[in-house]
A and B are shown apart, each in its own frame.
Chain A
Amino acid sequence: MAARMAGKRGPAKRKARPGTRARLRTGVRKGPAAKRKPLRRKGVVRRRARAPVSQQHAAYWAGRAYTAGCAAATAAANHRSVEAPGESEHARVNEAWATWCQAAGKPPWTLYSAAAARFMEGWRSMAGGYDQRWVLVPTTKTIGVVITVMNEQETVGAIIAELQRLPLHEMIFVVNGSTDASFERIRNQSSSIIVHYDEPLGHDVGRAVGAKLADSDILLFLDGDLPVKAEQLVPFVAAISEGSDVALNDISPLLGLFAVRDKVTVVKEFVNRAMGRADLAANSLTAVPHALSREALLRIGAPQLSVPPKAQVIAIEQGLKLVCPASVDVISGNRIRSQNTGGNNAVAQMIVGDHIEALQAAMQRRGARLGFPDQLRQRGYIMS
């Protein structure tokens, strides 16, 4: 360009230096002033340092959530007159939060709780009536929790306290074979549904009983001996709400190397692999917490939940969507009893039996070898 301009300016007979134009066009600078790119060694892959969830990022979501909370509260206040009078404030704020999550996108899990808290602060600044302990879930579907209890008076209080932080539709305690004050504690601390059996129902039968009574869209399952933080339950609810049918607890990060695992874990992993779901690793319906969709419950059948591995095999056979959305440490916190300690304990034997029963159910439908046919052997030569 410069050369052409110089030419136009007048009769000055300055000739453009050869090559200038080309250099200008390509933008190549010449001479020692030109900065050289540092040489890159071959084979060295430069990785951009992974940005930690920066404060700015967190502030972004918090700010957005706060504004949205304010707006939602204002909007809700305008419609208050037409709302059902029975609906709690927690359910109302959750509905607004779920709607916003759907419209604006759910915050990443690492920021979820903080964003939800800011949303509620925004809500309070406009509408008031907010409890700091509330946990919001990104769905408007109804949520039910089934908790099996057998002599767990020490822990039921903590479980109820955690569950009351969630906007639940129903809470069903199946108290069986309890000789302590479990029933009274639950009765006094909550208005939940309690099913009471004098005799113990046996392992996991309580889940089936509770599931049969529930009428929520999303069903969470917990054990009475293990309080789980309400925040940790949110991903399971969210997974079902987003279209999965079975959300399992991802215990993989809690397991050691194969050589040191207990027998139950080995058998769980084998059943998943035999069912063609190696991706599920050793995750199982045997472990809590887990969640089911209403659809899954109907397709599996509530009675089958008494034998969790069998329910899982049926779910896979039925083509339901199984996912492992989050990891809750249920191993180190599990109560130690006389029955569940030692390598050869009665509970472990029973769970191994459950897995045999599960595989047997699949074999009845698809033959002894399931999806692993034997096409190589010439068995005709050895039949006696």
Chain B
Amino acid sequence: MPKRSKVKPGSRTGLRRSLFTIPPTDTPKVSVIIPVVNERRTLGAVIRQAALAHPSTEVIVVANGSTDGSAELAERMGARVLRYAQPLGHDVGRSIGARAARGEVLLFTDGDIVIAAKDLAAMTNAVIAGADVALNQYLGPTGLMHVHGVVLAKHALNLMVGDAVNTGASLTTIPHAMSRRARDIIGCENLAVPPKAQTIAAFHGLQVRAAHYVEVGRRNRRRARGRVRGVDPLERLIIGDHLEALAWHVAQTDVRGRLTDGGRSRESVC
């Protein structure tokens, strides 16, 4: 059976007389950041749910390398659109969107997965309630003998940088939210490499909390582009991100990430 879109063709945007528009506000409480590369099929629904997450919301769409009218659609719906002619690469849009955000809470999601407003609201509410960074509790498929490299990397990094509370929860997974203060401490430029951003947050003692569970695995579009014999190029990119994060952690601490050496007398053998 062919996969059916969550958004039935014609049922929402088509039949609705007027397009949904985001209620305008000058001092938004929540900024929703949506990087978009040719995702017109789902973008309308994504923006609508995002706008409903909180009464005072601005939606920032970072359209990079989009040629299918995603940007125009977002503009008509009342989103702030930042346009880039060429694709910026994985997660760079988050970084750019975060820099432009005016809200006190930054909520990150993707243009290709429609997440219900109540799930998005759970993330923002966790931040409003006091967490600095609110993560999705979704860990990916872990009931396996051989897990995906991304799942493995997420778990391993959290263990290595001493974030034992959030077993495998990661900034790599959407949706997630953070306070503006967290953004400033982490630095916008670091948000493009999510595991690094998470490591920085943990290092500076920010409260990182896996706040709410949203299943995003099955809905994530499996992209054929760039696959070589089944090897997902994104898997390699994301494992690299985690190593980059670990390298940052080691540079800030020491070669063992400030973990105990168990009293080894290494000078006994040289």
* A interface residue numbers (CB < 8 A to B): 197, 199-205, 208-209, 212, 252, 255, 257-259, 263, 266-267, 269-271, 273-274, 278, 281, 302-303, 306-307, 343-344, 346-347, 349-350, 352-357, 359-361, 363, 368-370, 372-374, 376-379, 381-384
Task: Confirm or deny: B7 has a beta carbon within 8 angstroms of a beta carbon on chain A.
Answer: no
In whole angstroms, how far apart are the Cα atoms of A346 and B240 in the complex? 28
21 pairs, CB–CB < 8 Å, chain A vs chain B: A201-B268, A202-B266, A257-B145, A258-B152, A263-B164, A266-B155, A273-B239, A274-B153, A274-B239, A306-B264, A343-B164, A346-B260, A354-B256, A356-B160, A356-B249, A360-B247, A363-B246, A369-B244, A374-B89, A376-B233, A378-B89
Q: Are B88 and A377 in contact (CB under 8 A)?
A: yes
* B interface residue numbers (CB < 8 A to A): 84, 86-92, 95-96, 99, 142-147, 149, 151-153, 155-157, 159-160, 164, 187-189, 192, 233, 236-237, 239-241, 243-244, 246-250, 255-257, 259-266, 268-270
Find B243's partner among A197, A357, A369, A376 (CB 8 Å cutoff): A369
Question: Measured between C-beta atoms, what is the minimum distance from B177 to chain A in Å?
Answer: 20
In whole angstroms, how far apart are the Cα atoms of A20 and B255 in the complex? 88
Query: Known contacts A350-B260, A356-B250, A381-B96: does B243 contact A202 (CB below 8 Å)?
Result: no
CB neighbours (8 Å) of A200 from chain B are 263
CB neighbours (8 Å) of B270 from chain A are 303
Question: Measured between C-beta atoms, what is the minimum distance from B126 to chain A in Å?
Answer: 24
Q: Are A258 and B96 in contact (CB under 8 A)?
A: no
In whole angstroms, how far apart are the Cα atoms of A306 and B257 in the complex? 18
In whole angstroms, how far apart are the Cα atoms of A263 and B158 in the complex? 10
In whole angstroms, how far apart are the Cα atoms of A374 and B189 in the complex? 15
Question: Measured between C-beta atoms, what is the minimum distance from A174 to chain B in Å?
Answer: 10
Query: Known contacts A212-B269, A258-B147, A379-B192: does B263 contact A356 (CB below 8 Å)?
Result: no
Q: Are A209 and B164 in contact (CB under 8 A)?
A: no
Of the candidates B99, B236, B260, B268, the one having the most CB atoms from chain A within 10 angstroms of its own CB is B268
Question: Measured between C-beta atoms, what is the minimum distance from B49 to chain A in Å?
Answer: 27
CB neighbours (8 Å) of B187 from chain A are 384
- In the complex, the number of residue pairs spanning A and B with C-beta atoms less than 8 Å apart equals 173
8 smallest CB-CB distances across A and B, nearest first, come from A372-B240, A353-B259, A202-B264, A270-B156, A377-B89, A368-B247, A376-B89, A259-B142
Q: Are A202 and B261 in contact (CB under 8 A)?
A: yes
Q: Are A374 and B241 in contact (CB under 8 A)?
A: yes
In whole angstroms, how far apart are the Cα atoms of A104 and B148 in the complex? 43
Q: Are B240 and A205 in contact (CB under 8 A)?
A: no
Nearest CB in chain B to that of A378: its residue: B88
In whole angstroms, how far apart are the Cα atoms of A111 and B15 in the complex? 74
Find A374's partner among B188, B240, B262 (CB 8 Å cutoff): B240
Q: Are A350 and B259 in contact (CB under 8 A)?
A: yes
Nearest CB in chain B to that of A302: its residue: B269
Query: Known contacts A350-B261, A352-B160, A377-B92: does B144 contact A306 (CB below 8 Å)?
Result: no
CB neighbours (8 Å) of A361 from chain B are 255
Q: Are B264 and A274 in contact (CB under 8 A)?
A: no
In whole angstroms, how far apart are the Cα atoms of A138 and B252 in the complex? 50
Nearest CB in chain A to that of B141: its residue: A258
Query: Known contacts A346-B262, A368-B244: does B268 contact A205 (CB below 8 Å)?
Result: yes
Question: Measured between C-beta atoms, what is the minimum distance from B257 to chain A in Å?
Answer: 4
Of the candidates A209, A270, A368, the one having the most CB atoms from chain B within 10 angstroms of its own CB is A270
Q: Are A350 and B145 in contact (CB under 8 A)?
A: no
Q: Are A356 and B256 in contact (CB under 8 A)?
A: yes
Q: Are A209 and B269 in contact (CB under 8 A)?
A: yes
Question: Measured between C-beta atoms, what is the minimum distance from B239 to chain A in Å?
Answer: 5
Find B269's partner among A271, A273, A303 (CB 8 Å cutoff): A303
Question: Measured between C-beta atoms, what is the minimum distance from A155 to chain B in Å?
Answer: 21
Question: Measured between C-beta atoms, what is the minimum distance from B91 to chain A in Å?
Answer: 7
In whole angstroms, how far apart are the Cα atoms of A252 and B145 in the complex? 9
Query: Known contacts A258-B143, A263-B159, A359-B243: does B261 contact A378 (CB below 8 Å)?
Result: no
Question: Measured between C-beta atoms, what is the minimum distance from A274 to chain B in Å?
Answer: 6
In whole angstroms, how far apart are the Cα atoms of A381 and B260 in the complex? 39
In whole angstroms, how far apart are the Cα atoms of A356 and B160 in the complex? 7
Q: Are B259 and A203 in contact (CB under 8 A)?
A: no
Q: Are A378 and B86 in contact (CB under 8 A)?
A: yes
Q: Are B243 and A370 in contact (CB under 8 A)?
A: yes
Question: Measured between C-beta atoms, what is the minimum distance from B178 to chain A in Å?
Answer: 17
In whole angstroms, how far apart are the Cα atoms of A346 and B260 in the complex? 8
In whole angstroms, how far apart are the Cα atoms of A178 and B136 in the complex? 48
Q: Are A352 and B259 in contact (CB under 8 A)?
A: yes
Find A376's partner among B153, B237, B256 (CB 8 Å cutoff): B237
Question: Measured between C-beta atoms, what is the minimum distance from A133 to chain B in Å?
Answer: 34
Of the candidates B86, B157, B255, the one having the most CB atoms from chain A within 10 angstroms of its own CB is B255
Q: Are A372 and B189 in contact (CB under 8 A)?
A: no
Q: Are A199 and B265 in contact (CB under 8 A)?
A: yes
Question: Measured between C-beta atoms, what is the minimum distance from B157 to chain A in Å?
Answer: 8
Find A353's partner among B143, B145, B164, B260 (CB 8 Å cutoff): B260
CB neighbours (8 Å) of A303 from chain B are 266, 269-270
In whole angstroms, how far apart are the Cα atoms of A278 and B152 in the complex? 11
In whole angstroms, how far apart are the Cα atoms of A302 and B153 in the complex? 30
Q: Are B268 and A255 in contact (CB under 8 A)?
A: no
Q: Are A267 and B159 in contact (CB under 8 A)?
A: yes
In whole angstroms, how far apart are the Cα atoms of A377 and B262 in the complex? 40
Q: Are A368 and B243 in contact (CB under 8 A)?
A: yes
Query: Known contacts A263-B159, A344-B164: does B255 contact A357 (CB below 8 Å)?
Result: yes
CB neighbours (8 Å) of B99 from chain A are 382
Of the candidates A344, A350, A352, A383, the one having the most CB atoms from chain B within 10 angstroms of its own CB is A352
CB neighbours (8 Å) of B151 from chain A are 258
In whole angstroms, how far apart are the Cα atoms of A374 and B236 in the complex? 9
CB neighbours (8 Å) of A377 from chain B are 88-92, 192
Of the candidates B156, B236, B257, B263, the one having the most CB atoms from chain A within 10 angstroms of its own CB is B156
Nearest CB in chain A to that of B142: its residue: A259
